[in-house]
């Protein structure tokens, strides 16, 4: 069987690759596109180390065929920071020392970002359930959960400030014209 | 290994009828089997491009759920969750957030595990499968799909297009409970689904009780339903439900639970699920 020619979007960039049917999306990301941030843990959907977003849904890249990415949008850990500027979750993981060996970290960051997009103010219990599919074998769960909750608080504060600024800036022209 | 993305049910059936073809929906079972060498298809037929397999609709006949709709999407459907809370709570118990993003009702049923969480809830709700094949389409009640562990009643070339759930009658409710040793991410030791309806006086007029993981296939337990019908779902009726559910079990001993434990727990869960279904029905 000839290889499949797949055109897809990864972290906002259009990308093309060739793959065989057997290759998973994780295989393709790591071995064809050299995006090695997504990790291979179990290859059976149990550990979450390969968590990526596929058309806005959190999935395990090891349980998706590479060829299924045709025409879809994939987001990986490589798309999380903006250049040198780390995402608040990434900063908080460093501040809270929420990682030891680091193999689970990319998947947990992608999963946590998906949680905060859906629920900007999760409880600790909601956070733990959402991340139940991300295993950390260094068992640093408490620090991970604290980092996620702290990042969520900071992101809410930033969003409020942004909204405040916006409403002020809409008033400003009136004041100026008055 | 070939890979095909048919866009109509007819094309999908024609492809699946070929020797060595395997259907792909969410892939949460199939990709694990491929990796382990437990499945060696020569062709994968990805059903997700067939529009009828995706989405949730409501029409004059009730609810229709496309067989390849991811559980995460179904779980977000507030109206469906209000109509059939037991079905929705069952499908939300499957796997992690990541698995929810891919796993489907069609896959959970066709994989034919006796412990599949959605199946007792769907059986209790009286769900019907729309099955497509090379010679046309037919309807099959969910309880007739699984024939033995890992085996289903679909012929070569057949696949599930969607699931039909009626509009729940007035004063009705359903519930699903499962036992696992952890709080999340595990396979049912026992699962129990109950759907029932009450008359204006609160007397049960209709009931279906289904069990998972206690026999080679999920069970529809007629005697447990009989124990509910005609009662006000009081403690005596619930004890009879528990006894009937336990009596119907033919479980195995394995690392998840012994025969005696499963038989006992099946009764307890059937009773508790019936009580929740009754409370939901009374609240409507």
Average pLDDT over chain B, rounded to an integer: 97
Q: Which residues of A touch B70 (CB under 8 A)?
A: 57
Amino acid B184: pLDDT: 80
In this structure, what token pair is assigned to residue B15? 């492809």
Q: What domains are defined for chain B?
A: 49-165 (3.30.465.10), 176-283 (3.30.390.50)
Q: Please, what is the end-to-end C-alpha distance for chain A in angstroms?
A: 73
pLDDT per residue of chain A (178 residues) written in tens, 0 to 9: 689 999 999 999 999 999 999 999 999 999 999 999 999 999 999 999 999 999 999 999 999 999 999 999 999 999 999 999 999 999 999 999 999 999 999 999 999 999 999 999 999 999 999 999 999 999 889 999 999 999 999 999 999 998 876 554 444 444 444 3
B2 contact A CB<8A? yes
**What is the CATH code for A88-171?**
1.10.150.120
Q: For B188-241, what is each residue's pLDDT tens digit?
A: 999 999 999 999 999 999 999 999 999 999 999 999 999 999 999 999 999 999
Q: What percent of chain B has pLDDT over 70?
A: 100
The pLDDT of B137-148, averaged and rounded, is 98
Domain A4-79: CATH superfamily is Beta-grasp domain (3.10.20.30)
Amino acid A166: pLDDT: 59
Q: For B237-265, what is each residue's pLDDT tens digit?
A: 999 999 999 999 999 999 899 999 999 99
Q: How confident is the model at residue B182 (pLDDT cuts 50, 70, 90)?
A: confident
Strands B136-141 and B128-133: antiparallel
Q: Which residues of B touch A131 (CB under 8 A)?
A: 97
B59 contact A CB<8A? no
Does the distance separating the beta carbons of A44 and B32 come in below 8 Å?
A: yes
Q: Which residues of B touch A132 (CB under 8 A)?
A: 96-97, 184-185
The pLDDT of B31-54, averaged and rounded, is 97
Q: For B90-130, what is each residue's pLDDT tens digit?
A: 999 999 999 999 999 999 999 999 999 999 999 999 999 99
**What residues of chain B, 67 to 106, have a C-beta less than 8 Å from chain A?**
70, 72, 95-99, 101-102
Task: Check if the beta carbon of residue B63 is closer than 8 Å to that of residue B56.
Answer: yes
Q: How confident is the model at residue B65 (pLDDT cuts 50, 70, 90)?
A: very high
User: What are the residues facing B172 on neighbouring strands?
Assistant: B197
B182 contact A CB<8A? no
The pLDDT of B46-54, averaged and rounded, is 98
Q: What is the CA radius of gyration of chain A?
A: 19
Domain spans of chain A, in order of start: 4-79, 88-171
Does the distance separating the beta carbons of A1 and B2 come in below 8 Å?
A: yes
Residue with tokens 């064809």: A32
Amino acid A47: pLDDT: 97
Amino acid B32: pLDDT: 97
DSSP conformation letters of chain A: -PPEEEEEEETTEEEEEEE-TT-BHHHIIIIIS--TTS--S-SSSSS-TTEEEETTEEEEGGGSBGGGGTT-EEE-GGGTSBTTB--HHHHHHHHTT--SS-SSHHHHHHHHHHHHHH-SS--HHHHHHHGGG---TT--HHHHHHHHHHHHHHHHHHHHHHHHHHHHHHHHHHHHH-
The pLDDT of B44-67, averaged and rounded, is 98
Amino acid A1: pLDDT: 67
Q: What percent of chain B has pLDDT over 90?
A: 97
Centre a 10 Å sphere on the Cβ of residue A62 and count the other Cβ atoms it contains. 29
Q: Which residues of A touch B98 (CB under 8 A)?
A: 45, 48, 51, 58-60, 63, 111, 133
ipTM value of the model? 0.94
Which of B255 and B141 is assigned the larger pLDDT? B141
Most B CBs within 10 A among A23, A63, A66, hence the mutation to make, goes to: A63
Average pLDDT over chain A, rounded to an integer: 92
């Amino acid at each position: 069987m000839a290889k499949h020619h797949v055109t897809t979007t990864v972290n906002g960039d259009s990308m093309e690759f060739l793959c065989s049917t057997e290759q998973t999306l994780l295989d393709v990301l790591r071995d064809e596109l050299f995006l090695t941030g997504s990790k291979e843990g179990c290859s059976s959907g149990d550990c979450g180390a390969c968590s990526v977003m596929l058309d806005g849904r959190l999935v395990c890249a090891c349980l998706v065929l590479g060829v299924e990415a045709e025409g879809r949008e994939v987001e990986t850990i490589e798309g999380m920071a903006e250049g040198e500027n780390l995402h608040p979750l990434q900063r908080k993981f460093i501040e809270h020392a929420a990682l030891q060996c680091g193999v689970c970290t990319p998947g947990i960051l992608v999963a946590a970002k998906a949680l905060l997009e859906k629920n900007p103010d999760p409880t600790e219990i909601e956070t733990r359930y959402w991340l139940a599919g991300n295993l950390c074998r260094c068992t640093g769960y408490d620090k991970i959960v604290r980092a996620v909750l702290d990042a969520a608080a900071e992101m809410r504060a930033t969003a409020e400030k942004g909204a405040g600024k916006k409403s002020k800036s809409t008033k400003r022209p009136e004041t100026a014209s008055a | 290994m070939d890979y095909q993305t048919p866009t109509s049910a007819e094309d999908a059936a024609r492809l699946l009828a070929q020797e060595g073809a395997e259907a792909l929906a969410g892939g949460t079972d199939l990709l694990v089997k491929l990796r382990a060498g437990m499945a060696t298809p020569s062709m994968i037929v990805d059903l997700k491009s067939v529009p009828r397999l995706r989405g949730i609709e409501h029409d004059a006949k009730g609810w229709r759920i496309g067989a390849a709709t991811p559980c995460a999407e179904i779980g977000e459907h507030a109206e469906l969750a209000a109509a059939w809370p037991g079905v929705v709570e069952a499908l939300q118990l499957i796997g992690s957030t990541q698995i929810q993003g891919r796993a489907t009702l069609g896959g959970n049923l066709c994989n034919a595990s006796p412990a599949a969480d959605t199946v007792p809830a769907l059986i209790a709700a009286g769900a019907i499968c729309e099955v497509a094949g090379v010679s046309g389409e037919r309807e099959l009640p969910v309880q007739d799909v699984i024939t033995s562990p890992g085996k289903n009643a679909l012929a070569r070339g057949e696949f599930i297009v969607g699931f039909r759930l009626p509009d729940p009658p007035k004063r009705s409710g359903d519930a699903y409970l499962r036992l696992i040793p952890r709080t999340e991410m595990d396979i049912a030791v026992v699962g129990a689904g109950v759907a029932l309806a009450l008359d204006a006086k609160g007397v049960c007029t209709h009931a279906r009780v289904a069990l998972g993981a206690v026999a080679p296939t999920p069970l529809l337990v007629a005697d447990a339903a009989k124990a509910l019908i005609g009662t006000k779902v009081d403690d005596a009726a619930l004890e009879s439900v528990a006894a009937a559910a336990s009596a119907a079990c033919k479980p195995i001993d394995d690392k998840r639970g012994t025969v005696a434990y499963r038989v006992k727990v099946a009764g307890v869960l059937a009773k508790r699920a019936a009580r929740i279904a009754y409370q939901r029905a009374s609240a409507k």
